[in-house]
């Protein structure tokens, strides 16, 4: 199992959601975050040029998946989040040691696999 963490532009977040839905990804968590992606803004001061680290609004997706879902999920995010401009974001794939579904007590694969009924 993996936890896919994707930081994307807020303007792309709905497209990412739709692409994930089409890829049959169901369980996910979304948060508004702020981040910095390396772009430095030059600021003129009376003592010369300095650089300022500006924080940008981003949206963070966290998606726990079984291994065979990793590539489809990454592809869905890549294609829906990309504009081609700097600042499109990043996708991190992290190992997951254990998952519990609280309601049923299911563990690991059983706990990350979506159930048919609505939650
Ligand atoms: N190494 C990192 N660790 C954690 N978060 C990061 C990292 N790099 C980028 N981010 C997050 O992703 C957001 C977007 O980053 P960004 O797309 O600018 O990355 P980049 O590597 O500079 O790529 P690009 O050259 O396309 O701008 C950042 O605002 C930050 O929230
Ligand atoms: Mg950047």
Please state, in angstroms and as integers, the Cα–Cα distance from residue 18 to each residue in 22, 60, 71, 72, 113, following that order: 6, 15, 17, 13, 19
pLDDT digits (tens, 9 = 90+) for 11-40: 999 999 999 999 999 899 999 999 999 877
In this structure, the residue with its CA closest to atom 2 of ligand 1 is 37
User: Do strands 56-65 and 29-35 pair parallel, antiparallel, or not at all (unpaired)?
Assistant: antiparallel
- Which residues form the domain of 65? 2-112
pLDDT confidence band for 118 (50 / 70 / 90): low
**According to the model, what pLDDT value does residue 53 have?**
78
Is residue 99 in a domain? yes
Query: How much distance in Å is there from the Cα of 6 to the middle of ligand 2?
Result: 14
Is residue 119 included in any domain, yes or no?
no
Look at the pTM and tell me if it is higher than 0.85.
yes
Q: 118 lies in a domain?
A: no
* Domain presence at residue 27: yes
Q: How far is the CA of 104 from the centre of ligand 2 (A)?
A: 42
CATH code at position 75:
3.30.70.120
Atom number of ligand 1 nearest to Cα 60: 31
Give the integer Cα–Cα distance in Å for 68 and 78: 17
Which atom of ligand 1 is found nearest the CA of 9?
Answer: 14
Count up the domains in the chain and report the number: 1
């Amino acid at each position: 199992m993996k936890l896919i963490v994707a930081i994307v532009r807020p303007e792309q977040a709905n497209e990412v959601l739709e692409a994930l839905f089409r890829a049959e990804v169901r369980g996910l968590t979304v948060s508004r975050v702020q981040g910095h992606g390396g772009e430095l803004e030059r600021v003129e001061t009376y003592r010369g040029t300095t650089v300022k680290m500006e924080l940008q609004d981003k949206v963070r997706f966290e998606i726990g998946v079984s291994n065979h879902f990793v590539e489809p999920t990454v592809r869905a995010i890549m294609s829906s989040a990309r504009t081609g401009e700097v600042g499109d974001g990043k996708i991190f794939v992290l190992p997951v040691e254990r998952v519990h579904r609280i309601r049923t007590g299911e563990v690991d694969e059983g706990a990350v696999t979506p159930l048919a009924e609505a939650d």
